[in-house]
Chain A
Amino acid sequence: MILSTDKTQLCVLTGGKTAYPVYMTIGNFDKAVRRKPSYHAQTLVGYLPTSALGDTELNETSARLGRFRLFHKAMNTIFAPLKAVAQHGLELTSADGAVRHGHPILACYPADYPEQSLVTCTRYNVTCPKCDISSDKLGNGKLGTRREQNETLRKIHRAAEEHSKTRMNAKLKSEGLNYIPHPFWENWYLSDIHLAMTPDILHQLYQGVVEHLIGWLRKLIGDAELDARFKRLPPAHGVRRFKSGISGLTQVSGPEHKDICKQLLGCLLATSSVPLGAVRASRALLDFLYLAQYPSHSDETLECLQTALDEFHANKEVFLNLDARLGT
């Protein structure tokens, strides 16, 4: 089973109403079919509540936690029938008439980072939905210990046994978790919600890593010079022309980031103002970016992916040394 949820703005004119649809599909379909809406391979199974607990007497924090628990309760209500048959399976008839015995197991849950945090009960902007790394250690290139569904549940329940709410919160905080006593994936046969989280190219690579990279380079080279270099590039087919450079862009969208990435490396080379390390680190990140989007991987390309990452870590020092990193 592949589930996905996404909060969507319906129409700004009607007062910013949002919808929160839940979609479901199966991994038996080819991925090219799953992503095309015209094939109807995704089924809408429900609409989650969006406006609940908006104006209550609760304070901000407990209202937010209440909304988290409401999400899990609603998801649990929707998927209870499926969870019930996951272990023993059910008879499924495909279009050729063959009857197969199927076990609906939660495999993937593609979502953006805020939703990943919500789904896995991990704390937003504090830790990772897949491992137990804390936000201050993200840059050191080492992996945290992988989170495991049953371990997460045990941690939440153990914290709930504490006598006072303050101590419970402190305990959960140190684990980077939120108090959700019954997440919807609880007892779902053979599922591991942390494993089901998938990387998100738009938010995590283009709007995440690339945005940082551009920020560092702008500080390193200077807005005026970087803009001038973008302007100097000769026009070419399939490449966007940034007539007034890139520093003036606000709310840079995914496609704009893609257009910037195509030309970025060309703007770094052949000048003394950019140290070699910065060029290498940028190239490694861009390599990683493009390798990560391959529709098919082999052991070899995965190795290249790791090499690109290692090369970035080996060369990233230059951004720190030159004070190019924002916020330092």
Chain B
Amino acid sequence: MKEKLGLSYNNSRSLNQVINELPALAEWNLHNLTLDDSETTESIELWCRDPTDALKSLWGSPALFQFMKFAPEKQYTNSTMKKRLYNEMNTGNWWWKKQASVMSRMVDIQN
């Protein structure tokens, strides 16, 4: 039956193993903070996740892929292209500017 259905697992245990190999959300870590420049030395707990892992899981989300934008755009109200439209983040000037700064830095590194 395994061959007929083309399954990648033999029993429920190996199915669970396959599931566990899927990329999961980032794990929680505990940090202890103290304010070194203050008079108190109270130790404070901070629970957080690694934001790079969180970013990777957001970026790789299949459910959200259809709503993603990867390049800046310029939208206009009509074909004369005199009046800009601003709505999604990639239609503003910020994306263009940041892209230009990142690109120029890349060129510097390559030279």
Please report A residues at the B interface, Cβ cutoff 8 Å: 1, 22, 24-33, 39-41, 43-49, 52-53, 56-58, 62, 66, 69-70, 73-74, 77-79, 81-82, 85, 87, 89-90, 92-96, 100, 102-105, 107, 181, 190, 195, 295-300, 302
Chain A residue, CB-CB nearest to B49: A45
The 23 listed contacts between A and B (C-beta, < 8 Å) are: A24-B58, A26-B55, A29-B67, A30-B69, A39-B63, A43-B49, A44-B49, A46-B46, A58-B39, A58-B40, A66-B38, A66-B40, A73-B35, A82-B52, A82-B55, A93-B56, A94-B65, A295-B87, A296-B87, A297-B85, A297-B87, A298-B77, A299-B84
- Tell me whether A43 and B25 are in contact in the complex, defined as CB-CB below 8 angstroms, given that A30-B88, A33-B64, A92-B55 are known contacts: yes
Asked whether any CB of chain A lies closer than 8 Å to the CB of B9, the reply is no
Smallest Cβ distance from A198 to chain B, in angstroms? 11
Contacts of B96 in A (CB 8 A): none
A62 to B55, CA, bound (A): 36
Contact residues, B14-68 vs A (CB, 8 A): 25-26, 31, 33, 35, 37-40, 42, 44-52, 54-65, 67-68
Contacts of A181 in B (CB 8 A): 37
Asked whether any CB of chain A lies closer than 8 Å to the CB of B101, the reply is yes
Chain B interface size band reads 35 or more
Contacts of A92 in B (CB 8 A): 55-56, 59-60
A147 to B41, CA, bound (A): 34
Contact call B58/A297, Cβ cutoff below 8 A: no
Smallest Cβ distance from B48 to chain A, in angstroms? 3
Contacts of B94 in A (CB 8 A): 107, 195
Contact call A45/B51, Cβ cutoff below 8 A: yes
Contacts of B67 in A (CB 8 A): 29-30, 32-33, 39, 41
Q: Give me the 4 closest cross-chain CB pairs, A-B, nearest first.
A: A46-B48, A296-B87, A95-B65, A95-B62
Smallest Cβ distance from B22 to chain A, in angstroms? 13
Contact call A77/B64, Cβ cutoff below 8 A: no
Asked whether any CB of chain A lies closer than 8 Å to the CB of B4, the reply is no
A78 to B56, CA, bound (A): 16
A7 to B47, CA, bound (A): 15
Please report B residues at the A interface, Cβ cutoff 8 Å: 25-26, 31, 33, 35, 37-40, 42, 44-52, 54-65, 67-70, 77, 82-90, 94-95, 98, 101-102, 105
Contact call A190/B44, Cβ cutoff below 8 A: no
- Tell me whether A94 and B60 are in contact in the complex, defined as CB-CB below 8 angstroms, given that A45-B48, A297-B85 are known contacts: yes
Smallest Cβ distance from A264 to chain B, in angstroms? 28
Chain B residue, CB-CB nearest to A78: B48
Contact call B68/A70, Cβ cutoff below 8 A: no
Contact call A53/B54, Cβ cutoff below 8 A: no
Contact call B56/A82, Cβ cutoff below 8 A: no
Chain A residue, CB-CB nearest to B28: A46
Chain B residue, CB-CB nearest to A83: B51
Contact call A90/B51, Cβ cutoff below 8 A: no
A66 to B38, CA, bound (A): 7
A69 to B44, CA, bound (A): 13
Contact call A27/B33, Cβ cutoff below 8 A: no
- Tell me whether A69 and B51 are in contact in the complex, defined as CB-CB below 8 angstroms, given that A26-B58, A27-B89, A96-B65 are known contacts: no
Contacts of B101 in A (CB 8 A): 190
Chain B residue, CB-CB nearest to A52: B44
A46, A93, A100 pick with most chain B CB within 10 angstroms = A46
Smallest Cβ distance from A57 to chain B, in angstroms? 8
Contact call A25/B33, Cβ cutoff below 8 A: no
Contact call B38/A24, Cβ cutoff below 8 A: no
Contact call A77/B37, Cβ cutoff below 8 A: no
A272 to B28, CA, bound (A): 65
A79 to B54, CA, bound (A): 11
Chain A residue, CB-CB nearest to B63: A39
Known A24-B51, A45-B51; 5 more pairs at CB < 8 Å: A24-B55, A40-B61, A66-B35, A93-B59, A94-B68
